[in-house]
Structure 1
Amino acid sequence: MMGWIKPMKNKNNLKLSKEKREQMKNEIKVYFSNERDEDLGDLGAGLILDFIIEELAPEFYNQGVFDAYQYMNDRMEDVLGLQK
């Protein structure tokens, strides 16, 4: 990744609605049940979700920013090709 892309300053600035957070916790619980045959409670699912938001999500965000930069840069080169 290019050095000019700065990581998100505040790791926990991703805010989820109560409904979205509950949906994600339920998806985590279903995953653990299906893949690991473990029953995970609300607290455990919430802690896993917090870990993902705080530690992993910034990397996905930064990759998305970089991908968008590359896409836009490629499109700008296409526009320059229209010069006469």
Structure 2
Amino acid sequence: MFDTKKRAAIVSELQDYFDRELEAELGQFDAEFLLDFLIKKLGPAFYNQGLEDAKGVLDRRVADIADELYEIEMPDDL
């Protein structure tokens, strides 16, 4: 899912968080295992929310285009 550099940065952030907030040491293996768990369990929810957000943007843009098309309609006397 993440390239090696990004994955290493996230693992490091998890380790720092555990150290700072929980005063607990999180080893490299455990941090990677935790990251895999979070991706598996939370990833779909974040992905689906991203899709919903994108759909909302798209819906607004389509509505704007429809409004603009309505504005340039010509009168039809037939």
TM-score range, shorter chain: 0.7 to 0.9
TM-score by length of 2: 0.84
Larger radius of gyration: 2
- Kindly provide the CA deviation profile for residues 37-63 of structure 1, in whole angstroms up to 9, marking residues without a partner as x: 111100110111001111101110110
Q: How many residues align?
A: 70
Instruction: Give 1 or 2: higher helix fraction.
Output: 2
Residue 53 (structure 2) pairs with residue 61 (structure 1)? no
Which blocks of at least 5 consecutive residues in structure 2 are unaligned? 74-78
Residue 27 (structure 2) pairs with residue 37 (structure 1)? no
Q: Percent identity?
A: 34
Residue 8 (structure 2) pairs with residue 22 (structure 1)? yes
TM-score by length of 1: 0.78
Which blocks of at least 5 consecutive residues in structure 1 are unaligned? 1-14
Name which structure has the greater RCO, CA cutoff 8 Å, separation 6+.
Answer: 1
CA RMSD of aligned residues (A): 0.9
Give every structure 1 segment of 4 or more consecutive aligned residues whose post-TM-superposition deviation is greater than 3 Å: none
